Structure 1
Amino acid sequence: MKGALSWSFLRLYLLTLLYFSANSILNVIIPLKGEALGATNTTIGIIMGAYLLTTMVFRPWAGGLIQRYGPIRVLRVLLAVNALALLLYTFTGLEGYFLARMLQGACTAFFSMALQLGIIDALPDKDRSQGISMYSLCSYLPGIFGPLLAIGMWETGEMSVFAISMTIIAILTGVVGFTARMEKKPAEAGDGSGQRSPARSMLSAMSQCIRNPHLFRCSVLMLSASLVFGAVTTFVPLYAPQISGGSAAVYLMIQAAIVVAARFLLRKWIPSDGKWRSSFVGGMMLLLISASLAVSFSASAGAPLFYAGALLLGIAQALLYPTLTTYLSFVLPKAERGVLIGLFIATADLGVSLGGIIMGPVADLTSYSTMYLMCAVIGVAATAFIVWGRKASYELVERADGKSVH
């Protein structure tokens, strides 16, 4: 095998699978334990949102440091810190969980940027979208078995099983990570933002999030879609018991399985030529809207509609992120690509965090069903942005670089 499926890349995908296995378990355990301890949806949302909110803060900085020092050196440091975070879950309560989520979030910022920038730099243009898609696939693969493991651990009532699992995952991730290798050209490691401090690179990138029409459009779309993803991940474990025949583990397994299958089977459909595909992206957003409505109405319609929402959301989640990331990898300035892609991914992190932090109070004041209906409204607004922004973006792009990339 060669290209995105060569042995060196397969080892990176295995590392990705191990790294995100812990989070697939924690996404179920933390809400259940919070509810058992009497925590409100707002508190649970804050603890869950702390993970990717911290990731968002560190993401652009991570991109700059990785371009300067290379992905392997950064990877080994973050894996040690990640092991510490996982061990915190084994002997602390909700307060310790909050700290552990923040540590884990900082590690994830560097981990995902190290692997994605390493893949982008090592693969030829024609294989780039497949590499990014395979990385994303493996980051979601634990979602197939993780929820079932978490429910099993919770139902046994023995949290020692959970503690042992976190310890084993920390050890295996460290072993695979410290033996991983990435081919990266030394000349590229110091290009662009690597010549400036990470703080200055991040400030410059933040200004480009508004000024650069490509980055602005993709960031708004990713922020809106990720808010829906975050609301589902955080509150489905608490919402599912209200649905006749509903199971959070089954829902999350269906969604994760669809993400994995779609990213593998449809990876060649993801555009890898730097051209903007409004109809393709708009179709993914329509699937997301339909999924939100299905989850919302399933409180009265029952489990079949609930699980249909998992299927629709899985397809949207599978294709939207790698499509936008691949597009940006072509159209962003190469000198600042690492920091700018880091900023874009940070908007995805922010969206997932807001899905817990903002939608938690909404669920407290209204209901889970109403909260997911509001998610659908946000999806409609984002889709309208595509339609409105398409014509306006022609003018923005032409002023920015003198040509249209649509």
Structure 2
Amino acid sequence: MIYLDNSATTRQFPEVTETMIKYMEEYFGNPSSLYQLGVDSEKAIKTARRRVLEAMGLGDGRVYFTSGGTEGDNMAVFGAVKALRRRGNKIVTTAVEHPAVLECCKALQEQGFDVEYIGVDRNCRLDTAALEDAIDDKTILVSVMHVNNEVGTVMPVNRIKEIMKAKNAPGIFHCDSVQSFGKLNLCNDADVITVSGHKIHGPKGTGAVYVGEGTNLPAFICGGGQESGKRSGTENVPAIAGFGVAAEISEITRKESMAAASKIRDRLAEGLRAKISDMVINSPEQTGEREGMCCPYILNVSFPGTRGEVLLHTLEQDGIYVSTGSACSSNKKGQSHVLKAMGLTDREIEGTLRFSFGQMNDIDEIDVVTEKVAAAVKRFRKLGSFR
């Protein structure tokens, strides 16, 4: 099996699984219990919280555990608006955010909030002039992702807080960092950052919200007061402990992993371009951490005149797993809102595949993938479907 859909989810590190089993079978106490079994569980949560915060590299701030990126984004968007709604009515975001942010913004729009969606160019680079024009002294929330989950473009997140200050915007800057956590340096100017465990070889159903000093979000789930009263409910100790281990490993191996991912991505792009001359690369060509570059863990390409879903299932028969876009909305009908916002034609969008890499990929796999993709494209076109 060659798994190249790591932006959807990742295989767990063995150390993560071992940790989770330990807290399922041996240290299974409720962390709110007063006896030692509960105390041990509480210690596991504290250790995981420290590991996640250290992996973020942001210094002071608070980390609250969630069930994943989607819950975290909901907590950030709705929480920011609830906290600041008396100070303004405007929300600024982008047209290419994850549905977890966009759907929240649409819901708030229906409630009467003024939401402005900033556009992007052909490589998903944000229109920073439009962003600057949109932010004003009534802006209570700016939500911009760090790395786009479909094409990998690095957004200009390190400039946003400066713009907000210049415009006297009272709002909170939320940065969805699900695709950058454990891979790139996070934005140290964001007020709220959301991350996910299963994108960094941790368990599914885990995530975290970072809230910086001077920022306060209201309670998202009321009840017994867990997570400092922000998200009540008995904590999932095995998953949280596993998430902490994944965060620690990802941070320790981050530079080495990024260099390996860059080589894998370049090999795949070069190989596909050599075999399929009319292939279109939708991701930015240059990889790196700076704005406008591409996070090296993602490569989005179009094979005009094909159908991505057919190619996906053809590759699946050869034990190769890729995607046509975001797994969080792939079961919905309709075209990718990201590729549409980038200005791709319907023909290009229809023939799109996303390859995404993780720490368990090997560069030796790539030549096999290149051959199989080229064969699948050739087979599709030979059957008379080329338009």
Q: TM-score scaled by structure 2?
A: 0.29
Q: Which has the higher contact order (CA 8 A, sep 6+)?
A: 1
Tell me which structure has the larger Cα radius of gyration: 2
Q: TM-score scaled by structure 1?
A: 0.28
Between structures 1 and 2, the one with greater helix share: 1
